[in-house]
């Protein structure tokens, strides 16, 4: 690849609902730019961007992939972002690296959850947005309804640039409103242009090229006072003014241009490629937040400064790592030493590559704004690589909270110890995955964004690290306690077998207490039990509280006081007193009104205002208690509640459905409450079933 400067780099993220044609658009653009000579299909598993075995199997993107190519004087870095919400971490990384976000929308169905989500994320990061309506060749297209759905969802800034001429329900040509030319395409995506003046674009919707030009002109007028005056005077704009105006409007963020394409029978891709060069360069992006010497600074893309670069994605495999790096300042060179400001280590950069799907192509440098791949370095996602005299750390990318939890084990056959190290590798590449061992149930818990996410994690553990795992709903860490103080209860162990006998006899009083772990006291007068047996008695009780009398769950908030007992000078032993204590425990618990406790979590769930009613109704079905509601100021509301943990396993998937992909929540353990009686039998039998 030849040298390109920062101004000639275009980082473009393709985002939107899964299935809306992002991977297909990347394919069509690569084809039209002459990089590939045939268009692959998701259904055939042969696209450039969906090359991972799991993507081919699922016929959908699950990873962020990169396609670099040159077009006229420009280097285009296309980032194909997965649309499925389960893989939102990859989407956040893609939107971080892209300077322009192309949001794809299908002409068949218009705006979806994934469209809104992509738009919202792009707005949060202040990226430039462009809409591309795909599938115009489909017999079921309804472009003008889809276009209207864009306007309804994203407002008057949605601005038509390339729109179709629909005749008899099918698209006939694509009209470039700036040029007032209609393009008809052959099978290879080569077009012939004709005059579009006065043509009817959709008879059904009563739309002509002139009405659409009016909408475009309005957006253009917004960019400049002189143009606005001209617009109000109803003087037509020159082509030059329109063309310049669209680019300017996009740069200023005062318009979101809409293009129309077919990705499979390529049409409109030539016009989109031409437009790519007008898209903002990396220097137009908002500066990044970083820390330097403990102070927060802003860093803009600038090739003339010393090196700083951000690792925005990592791919782990057993043989080493592949790091995706965006250079922010300076130039990153192969065979050079850089400092990792997060780990403090000096890292040697070997070769550098650009990428075309899975194909690596060696490059000799990466200037500020460019995206490259380094292999076999130690850096992790979120690390900053910088010059030794310019130690800075960029703020990490924000990731969604992993809330969907499953217990992971090697099943009947395998070796659980292998799982931990394989998962540790995946944690390096996937920032929306979490792993912990539950302190009570001792289960290994994997947390991710949803069932598909963990399903892919499971498949990767197998294919990459040869670890076979089984996922199951996590057990709930129930506990037991007592509600009543007992009188003193006897535990007497006496056995006469042959020579030596065994004898231990204790009287213990049990009562509830504040402390979670067992409190043991003794109030023995006159040596009815010799002191040296106290530790054995306490140990007997400690072991006993591990398994309560209701369902065998740990007993908490219990105080035991040793009041009396008796001993035998020959037959008494530590073991005998330990057993006596456990007998007293068993007898005492039954008299002390034992109850089951369930863990309660503290929930903070944020959704768009209109869904709060649904969520509150649902939380009450989950036996939740709503404590309060607070608007967050951007059309969202946070609901605070306390909900039993056993009712929350499927909340992630529920919330996604109800909140249309826009909800988020945190849920953390708060305390134990008594389990309602009506659930006692169910819980006792379920705990019994899982206890081996
Ligand atoms: N007819 C037609 N099919 C398309 C077009 N774009 C995408 N598709 C098909 O729609 C499906 C989903 O496309 P894909 O690119 O994988 O969607 P993604 O999830 O957004 O990456 C695939 O079967 C594509 O072949 C298009 O412009 N026309
Ligand atoms: Mg895709």
Ligand nearest to the CA of 104: 1
- Classify residue 642: in a domain, yes or no: yes
Listed residues 421, 448, 472: the one ending a domain: 472
Mean pLDDT computed over every residue of the chain: 92
CB of 20 within 6 A of ligand 1: the answer is yes
Question: Is 179 in the same domain as 300?
Answer: no
CB of 42 within 6 A of ligand 1: the answer is yes
Write the residue with the smallest CA distance to atom 22 of ligand 1: 42
Do the beta carbons of residue 306 and residue 389 sit within 8 Å? yes
pLDDT of residue 1: 59
The CATH number assigned to the domain holding 613 equals 3.30.70.240
Query: SS3 breakdown of the chain: % helix, strand, coil, rounded to 5?
Result: 30, 35, 35
- Classify residue 203: in a domain, yes or no: yes
CB atoms within 10 A of CB 473: 10
The CATH number assigned to the domain holding 215 equals 3.40.50.300
**What separation in Å is there between the alpha carbon of 47 and the centre of ligand 2?**
9
Distance between first and last Cα of the chain:
62
Question: Is 367 in the same domain as 513?
Answer: no
Question: Is 375 in the same domain as 444?
Answer: no
Spatial CB neighbours of 450, under 8 Å, sequence gap ≥ 6:
85, 86, 404, 652, 653, 656
- Classify residue 219: in a domain, yes or no: yes
Assign 3-class secondary structure to 384-426: EEECCCCCCEECCCCCCCCCEEEEEECCCCCCHHHHHHHHHHH
Spatial CB neighbours of 460, under 8 Å, sequence gap ≥ 6:
54, 426
Listed residues 238, 266, 284: the one ending a domain: 284
- Classify residue 1: in a domain, yes or no: no
Which atom of ligand 1 is nearest the CA belonging to 24?
Answer: 15
CB of 65 within 6 A of ligand 1: the answer is no
Give residue-wise pLDDT tens across range 66-104: 999 999 899 999 999 998 889 999 999 999 999 999 999
> How far is C-alpha 280 from the chain's CA centre?
27
Q: Which domain holds residue 97?
A: 6-284
Question: Is 460 in the same domain as 421?
Answer: yes
Per-residue pLDDT at 665 exceeds 90: yes
Give residue-wise pLDDT tens across range 229-274: 998 888 888 888 888 888 888 888 889 999 999 999 999 999 999 9
Closest CA to 28 of 132, 111, 130: 132
Per-residue pLDDT at 692 exceeds 60: no
Mean pLDDT of the region 196-218: 92
Per-residue pLDDT at 689 exceeds 60: no
Give residue-wise pLDDT tens across range 4-49: 899 999 999 999 999 999 999 999 999 999 999 889 988 888 898 8
Length of the chain counted residue by residue: 692
Listed residues 228, 253, 284: the one ending a domain: 284
Mean pLDDT of the region 677-681: 94
Question: Is 521 in the same domain as 451?
Answer: no
Token pair 């869904």: residue = 611
Write the residue with the smallest CA distance to atom 7 of ligand 1: 21
Question: Is 558 in the same domain as 651?
Answer: no
The CATH number assigned to the domain holding 312 equals 2.40.30.10
Q: Is 389 left (phi over 0), alpha (psi -120 to 50) or beta?
A: alpha
- Does the predicted model carry a pTM greater than 0.75? yes
Phi/psi for 479 (5° steps) reads: -135, 170
Question: Is 262 in the same domain as 317?
Answer: no
Question: Is 523 in the same domain as 449?
Answer: no
**What separation in Å is there between the alpha carbon of 406 and the centre of ligand 1?**
32
Give residue-wise pLDDT tens across range 133-146: 999 999 999 999 99
Mean pLDDT of the region 329-346: 96
- Classify residue 517: in a domain, yes or no: yes
C-alpha distances in Å from residue 388, one per residue of 260, 329, 339, 371, 374: 47, 14, 6, 21, 19
Give residue-wise pLDDT tens across range 94-118: 999 999 999 999 999 999 989 999 9
**What separation in Å is there between the alpha carbon of 24 and the centre of ligand 1?**
5
- Classify residue 399: in a domain, yes or no: no
Please tell me the total count of domains within the chain.
Answer: 5
Write the residue with the smallest CA distance to atom 13 of ligand 1: 21
pLDDT of residue 413: 66
pLDDT of residue 688: 65
pLDDT of residue 636: 93
Question: Is 175 in the same domain as 279?
Answer: yes
The CATH number assigned to the domain holding 501 equals 3.30.230.10
Give residue-wise pLDDT tens across range 468-511: 899 999 999 999 999 999 999 999 999 887 677 899 999 999 99
Mean pLDDT of the region 587-605: 96
Q: Which DSSP category does 28 fall into?
A: H
Give residue-wise pLDDT tens across range 397-455: 999 999 999 999 987 666 777 788 889 989 988 999 999 999 888 899 999 999 999 99
- Classify residue 619: in a domain, yes or no: yes
Please give the Cα distance from 408 to 431 (Å, whole number). 18
- Classify residue 614: in a domain, yes or no: yes
Confidence of residue 690 (pLDDT cuts 50, 70, 90): very low
Question: Is 425 in the same domain as 334?
Answer: no
The CATH number assigned to the domain holding 415 equals 3.30.70.870
CB of 115 within 6 A of ligand 1: the answer is no
Question: Is 323 in the same domain as 249?
Answer: no
Residues near ion ligand 2 (Cβ under 5 Å): 22-23, 61
CB of 21 within 6 A of ligand 1: the answer is yes
pLDDT of residue 58: 84
pLDDT of residue 106: 97
Give residue-wise pLDDT tens across range 341-381: 999 999 999 999 999 988 899 999 999 999 999 999 999 99
Do the beta carbons of residue 231 and residue 217 sit within 8 Å? yes
Confidence of residue 691 (pLDDT cuts 50, 70, 90): very low
Ligand nearest to the CA of 263: 1
Question: Is 242 in the same domain as 301?
Answer: no
């Amino acid at each position: 690849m030849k040298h390109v400067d920062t101004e000639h780099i275009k980082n473009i993220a393709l985002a939107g609902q899964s299935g809306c044609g992002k991977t297909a658009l990347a394919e069509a653009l690569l084809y039209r730019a002459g990089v590939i000579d045939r268009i692959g299909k998701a259904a055939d598993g042969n696209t450039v961007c969906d090359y991972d075995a799991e993507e081919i199997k699922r016929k959908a993107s699950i990873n962020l992939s990169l396609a670099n190519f040159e077009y006229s004087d420009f280097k285009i870095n296309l980032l194909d972002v997965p649309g499925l919400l389960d893989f939102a971490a990859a989407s956040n990384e893609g939107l971080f690296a892209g300077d322009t976000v192309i949001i794809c929308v299908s002409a068949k169905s218009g705006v979806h959850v994934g469209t809104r989500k992509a738009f919202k994320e792009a707005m949060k990061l202040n990226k430039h947005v462009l809409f591309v309506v795909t599938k115009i060749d489909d017999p079921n297209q309804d472009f003008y309804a889809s276009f209207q759905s864009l306007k309804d969802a994203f407002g008057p800034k949605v601005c038509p640039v390339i729109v179709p001429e629909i005749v008899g329900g099918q698209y006939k040509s694509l009209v470039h409103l700036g040029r007032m030319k209609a393009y008809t395409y052959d099978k290879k995506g080569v077009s012939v242009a004709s005059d579009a003046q006065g043509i009817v674009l959709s008879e059904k919707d009563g739309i002509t090229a002139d009405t659409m030009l009016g909408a475009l002109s309005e957006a253009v007028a917004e960019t400049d006072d002189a143009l606005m005056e001209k617009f109000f005077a109803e003087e037509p704009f020159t082509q030059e003014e329109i063309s310049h105006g669209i680019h300017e409007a996009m740069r200023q963020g005062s318009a979101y241009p809409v293009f129309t394409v077919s990705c499979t029978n390529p049409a409109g891709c030539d016009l989109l490629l031409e437009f790519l060069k007008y898209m903002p360069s990396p220097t137009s992006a908002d500066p990044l937040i970083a820390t330097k010497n403990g102070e927060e600074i802003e860093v803009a893309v600038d090739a003339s400064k010393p090196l700083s670069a951000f690792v925005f994605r990592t791919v782990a495999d057993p043989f080493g790592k592949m790091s995706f790096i965006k250079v922010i300042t300076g130039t990153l060179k192969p065979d050079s030493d850089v400092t990792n400001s997060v780990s403090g280590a000096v890292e040697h950069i070997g070769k550098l590559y650009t990428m075309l799907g899975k194909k690596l192509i060696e490059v000799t440098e990466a200037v500020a704004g460019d995206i490259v791949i380094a292999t076999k370095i130690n850096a992790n996602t979120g690390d900053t690589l910088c010059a030794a005299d310019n130690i800075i750390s960029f703020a990490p990318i924000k990731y969604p909270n992993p809330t969907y939890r499953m217990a992971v084990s090697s099943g009947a056959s395998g070796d659980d110890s292998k799982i931990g190290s394989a998962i540790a590798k995946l944690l390096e590449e996937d920032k929306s995955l979490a792993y912990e061992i539950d302190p009570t149930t001792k289960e290994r818990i994997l947390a991710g964004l949803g069932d598909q996410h963990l399903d892919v994690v499971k498949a990767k553990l197998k294919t990459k690290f040869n670890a076979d795992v089984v996922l199951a709903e996590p057990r709930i860490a129930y506990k037991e306690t007592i509600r009543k103080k007992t009188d003193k209860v006897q535990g007497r162990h006496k056995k006469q077998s042959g020579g030596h006998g065994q004898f231990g006899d204790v009287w213990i009083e049990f009562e509830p207490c504040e402390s979670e772990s067992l409190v043991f006291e003794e109030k023995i007068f006159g040596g009815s039990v010799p002191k040296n047996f106290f530790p054995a008695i306490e140990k007997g009780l400690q072991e006993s509280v591990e398994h309560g009398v209701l369902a065998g769950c740990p007993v908490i908030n219990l105080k035991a006081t040793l009041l009396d007992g008796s001993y035998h000078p020959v037959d008494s032993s530590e073991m005998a007193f330990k057993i006596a204590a456990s007998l007293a425990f068993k007898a005492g618990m039954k008299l002390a009104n034992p109850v089951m406790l369930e863990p309660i979590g503290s929930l903070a769930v944020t959704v768009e205002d209109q869904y709060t009613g649904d969520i509150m109704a649902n939380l009450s079905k989950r036996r939740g208690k709503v404590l309060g509601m607070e608007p967050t100021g951007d059309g969202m509301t946070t609901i605070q509640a306390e909900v039993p943990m056993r009712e929350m396993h499927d909340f992630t998937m529920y919330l996604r459905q109800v909140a249309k992909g826009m909800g988020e929540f945190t849920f953390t353990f708060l305390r134990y409450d008594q389990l309602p009686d009506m659930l006692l039998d169910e819980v006792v039998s379920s705990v019994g079933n899982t206890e081996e």
